[in-house]
């Protein structure tokens, strides 16, 4: 088939419309809101957004984390471009106030990253109702309230914004080996569903929403993650013994996940919405460094 002048013109069009790569990957001049932004993955995303040129409202419900995170970021030279707002994402009024406060502080809102989440360990047949409620109110309701009020602002002010929700690979690759957080995995599956459905509603307004599903990472939250205090000490000890068995691939560097979240906040991701991208080093495809020892499992009778 001959290569025509029209074909050449099409390629010239590609060149003419190709924006500078540095501009595509920058968030300079934009305003971002990061819930759960004062620790772990949320802190890493906050840092990357600041490095990319954004002004960031960092939110969490921990004054201790606020003091540590703000002092570290100010030391890095971001005193004027990052602020903190104490917020309990389980409370819809507080989330709305957070969005309003972000706009009042920085004059707008272009990016929303929901990284606020909690979890603990308990088997489904032992799981106390209060643990189920707390995890869902934080991980699902909190994400929903954020998407609701951020998107409302973006629609009303014709902002073609970016929304990124942090999910988990746990709904599609349950772990540890013997389970332990069905409430957490269920809550993160709900976040995936929220991502897809919200994308259907928001695309017409130019708002793109995606989620990231990380594997295990080394974070302060993960390091301090314990069995439910509402189950017996015997069951807690039993779970910790099972937990020690789980080790298939090591821990994913937090920044590998943070950089994917950052990318979704940029114009590089203009053509992606409604997606959940798994960032776990291939673990969900059984691409792992190690294999669980056969003697870790009981023999069949």
Q: Which residues are catalytic?
A: 168, 184, 188
Q: Give how far Cα 26 sits from Cα of 43, 154, 270, Å.
A: 18, 20, 13
Identify whether the C-beta of residue 161 lies closer than 8 Å to the C-beta of residue 150: yes
What pairing do the DSSP bridges indicate for beta strands 111-114 and 162-166? parallel
- Write out the two tokens for 103: 């706009």
Radius of gyration of the chain (CA): 21
| Phi, psi of 25, rounded to the nearest 5 degrees | -100, 10
SS3 of residue 256 by DSSP: helix
Strand (E) or helix (H) holding 112: strand 111-114
Q: Which residues pair with 44 in a beta bridge?
A: none
CA 220, CA 34: separation in Å to the nearest integer? Answer: 17
Distance CA 5, CA 11 (A): 10
Q: DSSP class of residue 39? A: S
Instruction: Copy the structure tokens of residue 155.
Output: 């629609």
DSSP string covering 139-156, please? IIIHHHHHHHHHHHHHHH
Residue 109 corresponds to which tokens in the numbers above? 């809102």
């Amino acid at each position: 088939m001959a290569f025509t002048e029209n074909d050449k013109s099409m390629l010239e069009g590609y060149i003419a419309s190709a924006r500078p790569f540095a501009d595509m990957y920058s968030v300079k001049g934009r305003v971002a809101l990061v819930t759960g932004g004062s620790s772990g993955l949320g802190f890493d995303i906050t840092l990357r957004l600041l490095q990319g040129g954004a002004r960031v409202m960092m939110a969490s419900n921990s004054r201790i984390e606020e003091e540590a995170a703000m002092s570290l970021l100010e030391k890095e030279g971001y005193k004027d471009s990052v602020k903190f707002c104490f917020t309990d994402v389980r409370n819809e009024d507080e989330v709305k106030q957070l969005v309003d406060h972000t706009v009042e502080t920085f004059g707008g809102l272009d990016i929303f990253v929901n990284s606020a989440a909690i979890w603990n360990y308990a088997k489904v047949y032992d799981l106390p109702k209060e643990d189920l409620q707390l995890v869902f109110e934080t991980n699902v309701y909190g994400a929903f309230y954020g998407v609701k009020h951020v998107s409302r602002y973006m629609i009303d002010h014709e902002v073609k914004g970016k929304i990124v929700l942090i999910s988990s690979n746990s709904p599609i690759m349950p772990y540890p080996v013997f389970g332990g957080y069905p409430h957490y995995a269920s809550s993160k599956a709900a976040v995936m569903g929220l991502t897809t459905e919200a994308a259907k509603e928001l695309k017409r307004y130019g708002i793109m929403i995606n989620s990231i599903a990380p594997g295990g990472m080394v974070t302060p939250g993960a390091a301090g993650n314990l069995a439910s205090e509402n189950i017996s000490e015997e069951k807690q000890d039993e779970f910790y013994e099972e937990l020690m068995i789980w080790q298939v691939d090591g821990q994913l560097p937090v920044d590998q996940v943070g950089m994917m979240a950052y990318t979704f906040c940029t114009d590089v991701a203009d053509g992606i919405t409604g997606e959940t991208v798994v960032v776990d080093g291939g673990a969900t495809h059984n691409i792992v460094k190690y294999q669980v020892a056969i003697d870790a499992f009981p023999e069949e009778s």
